[in-house]
Structure 1
Amino acid sequence: MAEVQLEDVRKVYDNGHVAVHGATFDIADGELLVLVGPSGCGKSTLLRMIAGLEEISAGTLRIGGRVVNDVAPRDRDIAMVFQSYALYPHMTVAENLAFGLKLRGHPRAEIERRVREAAAMLGLESMLDKRPRELSGGQRQRVALGRALVREPAVFLLDEPLSNLDAKLRHSTRTEIARLHQRLGATMVYVTHDQVEAMTLGQRIVVLDGGRIQQIDTPMALYQRPANLFVAGFLGSPAMNMLEGELRGGDGGLGLALEGGATVPLPGVEVPAAWLGRRVVLGVRPEHLQPHPRGGLRARVEVVEPVGSEAYLHLDFAGRSLVARLAPQDLPAPGAELDLRADPAHLHFFDPDGGARLGP
């Protein structure tokens, strides 16, 4: 396996569009790193530059310590799994798995060993004589993974490999990829727009927006300490609640004064004195907005969504939409008034003029 290093890597197309603005980060040997962000954020372009399928406009890319900016894709010792399975329909599963190795002139015994090992690892032994049309979507995706696996590359690159699967298959195949990574200790770069995939698969996550890196950290660090409003809103389902207003102190304690006259009480919250009188965006996750008889935040229940192990309350507070995540017991009815409290230990403050996180 190998370390991957990007130093100020940029992609500028001929029309002047900058798809990636100066990406700098390292992917450790054996790490599973996820690139995540909305459509058009530059994540697939970044992956394709690592693969050699897109020319690097500026910066330096190293794989295993070797600069590969001008190295052809076949000579980078990488294997790529695409969103499309791209299997040869006239070939059996075994032939699909072996095809790339045959093109590279590997000995027959070596090819058979690698195909046999990959099939065993992915549970494909009973399907080796079948053709792609006889397989389910999940099985086809496993064959696509196996085709990369038999290459025994230094780096695996996966570009939204689960996008064509239904929800149940996505979950099971995602688990297979995680197990595969643990078993191989392989260096993997995984691209997705799905924040659940990113949070559950990645050892670290690179969050992108508009071609710029917003934050790089472990999944829970991103969730608990988002660097800016974009990361705070993108990661988490349901999304973080956001309220913009002015921080004010007084005899009643700290509060966030909203436009229109409503105030969000913040009992037990301490902020630097310099923040008083400042406009901020207050962020609170749905699980940290809970019913409390003296919470001081009275909202009206609009919609109740029980989803089994938990329930989401969609609320109206002074004309603003909020979501609370509760245990599915003794749920209020739509139209009911509810007193809530934002957990003072789990609040986030952001600068409304740029979105940067305030404080640690």
Structure 2
Amino acid sequence: MASVQLDGVRKVYDNGQVAVHGASFEIADGELMVLVGPSGCGKSTLLRMIAGLEEISGGTLKIGERVVNDVAPKDRDIAMVFQSYALYPHMTVAENLAFGLKLRKHDKATIDARIKAAAETLGLTAMLDKLPKAMSGGQRQRVALGRALVREPSVFLLDEPLSNLDAKLRHSVRTEIARLHRQLGTTMIYVTHDQVEAMTLGQRIVVLKDGQIQQIDTPMALYDRPANLFVAGFLGSPAMNVLRGIAQPEGLLLERGALLPWAGPPSLPAGVLGQPLVVGVRPEDLHLAQADEPGAFQATLDNVEPVGNEIFLHLQAHGLDLIARIPPRSLPAPGAAVWLRLDSARLHYFDPATEARIEPAIVPGPATA
């Protein structure tokens, strides 16, 4: 096992396009770090530079204590799992698992022992004689994981390994990867565009946009305190509601002139009263209310999405499209008027010019004797 350190790592292509702008962070020995962001954000390029499949244009990359900028991929002690399973179709599971070990001239006893251990870990023991075509997508992805596992590398690199699986299989294999990491304690770097995968797998997450790191933190820290509007909107499903207006003591004066009232005194950042402000509201912090509740405002119910243990409400109010997440309950039909209120204690604030997070004021608690 080994740590991975990036210091100002850049990737600039021959046409001048900058794919990664000076990435600097450290992945601790035994950590599962997720790189997440939309298509084209540079996450796979960053992973490929760590693997040695892309040349580094600038900066320093270390695996353990060794600088590996100019070290060949085969000498970096890494194993990579790709989006495509990349299994040899004419080889059995056992032969696929053994192939890389044979190339590295391991003896038969070592190869057999590693195959047996990997097969037991991944539930492949009964499938060792099967060809890939006789297996499901989830089973083939487990073979691809096993082929990396038998290498016993210092670092595992996983490039969107679940993208080709259906929703049920994605959940199953995602659980297996998390269990595998807990069991082995190996350093893993996992790339995905799926924020659910990122939030459920990563011990820490690197959020990227346009080749630049936006924030690095634990999943819940990113969710509760996003560094900017991009992170706030990217992480969370359904996405955060974004409201723009002028901060007033009694509410947010929207661009169309309507006032969206606060439900109780909000922890407004210092100096924002009378100034343009972006307010973020998570769907679970937008509640159904009674007309006479403080801070209640009227909205039109546009669509109802029941998903079992919760319901997503799509609403319109003062020209805004809003989403609320509520527990199951009886609801009026789409088109009906409903009353809503914001949870003033859980609002997020952003600078409208820079889109950076603005910390709310600290509200003093009650005095103690």
What's 1:72 paired with? 72
What's 1:263 paired with? 259
1:90 and 1:292 map into 2 onto residues whose CA distance is 63
Matches within 5 A, 1:153-172: 153-172=153-172
2:297 and 2:202 map into 1 onto residues whose CA distance is 36
1:358 and 1:22 map into 2 onto residues whose CA distance is 25
Matches within 5 A, 1:8-157: 8-157=8-157
- Compute the displacement of 1:270 (Å): 3.1
**What do residues 288-318 of structure 1 show as CA deviations (whole Å, max 9, x unaligned)?**
0001221322111000111100001100011
1:314 and 1:332 map into 2 onto residues whose CA distance is 13
What's 2:282 paired with? 285
- Compute the displacement of 1:335 (Å): 1.4
**What do residues 100-152 of structure 1 show as CA deviations (whole Å, max 9, x unaligned)?**
00000001100000000000000000000011111110000000000000000
Matches within 5 A, 1:165-204: 165-204=165-204
- Compute the displacement of 1:272 (Å): 4.2
TM-score of the superposed pair, with normalisation by structure 1: 0.98
Structure 2 unpaired stretches of 5+: 361-369
2:164 and 2:209 map into 1 onto residues whose CA distance is 23
**What do residues 309-346 of structure 1 show as CA deviations (whole Å, max 9, x unaligned)?**
00011000111100000111122321121111111121
2:186 and 2:270 map into 1 onto residues whose CA distance is 49
**Matched-pair contact (CA < 8 Å) for 2:269–2:358:** no
TM-score of the superposed pair, with normalisation by structure 2: 0.95
Question: Structure 1: which 4+ aligned runs deviate by more than 6 Å?
Answer: none
* Alignment match of 1:275 (pick from 248, 272, 276): 272
**What do residues 217-243 of structure 1 show as CA deviations (whole Å, max 9, x unaligned)?**
000000010000000000011000001
**What do residues 149-180 of structure 1 show as CA deviations (whole Å, max 9, x unaligned)?**
00000000000000000000000000000000
What SS class does the counterpart of residue 333 from structure 2 fall into? Answer: coil
**Matched-pair contact (CA < 8 Å) for 2:267–2:345:** no
**What do residues 78-105 of structure 1 show as CA deviations (whole Å, max 9, x unaligned)?**
0000001000011100000000000000
What SS class does the counterpart of residue 237 from structure 1 fall into? Answer: coil
1:344 and 1:245 map into 2 onto residues whose CA distance is 16
Q: Do the aligned partners of residues 358 and 106 (structure 1) sit closer, same or farther apart at CA in structure 2, a change above 3 Å counting?
A: same
- Compute the displacement of 1:6 (Å): 0.3
* Identical positions, percent: 72
2:134 and 2:260 map into 1 onto residues whose CA distance is 59
What's 2:4 paired with? 4
1:332 and 1:77 map into 2 onto residues whose CA distance is 60
What's 1:209 paired with? 209
- Compute the displacement of 1:268 (Å): 2.0
What SS class does the counterpart of residue 14 from structure 1 fall into? Answer: coil
Structure 1 unpaired stretches of 5+: none
What's 2:364 paired with? none
- Alignment length, in residue pairs? 356
What's 2:366 paired with? none
**What do residues 46-99 of structure 1 show as CA deviations (whole Å, max 9, x unaligned)?**
000000000000000000111000000000000000001000011100000000
Q: Do the aligned partners of residues 62 and 260 (structure 1) sit closer, same or farther apart at CA in structure 2, a change above 3 Å counting?
A: same
Letter of the aligned partner of 2:161 in structure 1?
A: P
What SS class does the counterpart of residue 274 from structure 1 fall into? Answer: coil
What SS class does the counterpart of residue 313 from structure 2 fall into? Answer: strand
What SS class does the counterpart of residue 41 from structure 1 fall into? Answer: coil
- Compute the displacement of 1:273 (Å): 4.8
Alignment root-mean-square deviation, CA: 0.8
What's 2:243 paired with? 243
2:322 and 2:230 map into 1 onto residues whose CA distance is 18
What's 2:304 paired with? 304
2:298 and 2:228 map into 1 onto residues whose CA distance is 28
Letter of the aligned partner of 1:191 in structure 2?
A: V
Letter of the aligned partner of 1:231 in structure 2?
A: V
**Matched-pair contact (CA < 8 Å) for 2:269–2:359:** no
1:339 and 1:149 map into 2 onto residues whose CA distance is 54
What SS class does the counterpart of residue 55 from structure 1 fall into? Answer: coil
- Compute the displacement of 1:287 (Å): 0.3
Letter of the aligned partner of 2:358 in structure 1?
A: L
2:318 and 2:251 map into 1 onto residues whose CA distance is 15
What SS class does the counterpart of residue 227 from structure 1 fall into? Answer: coil
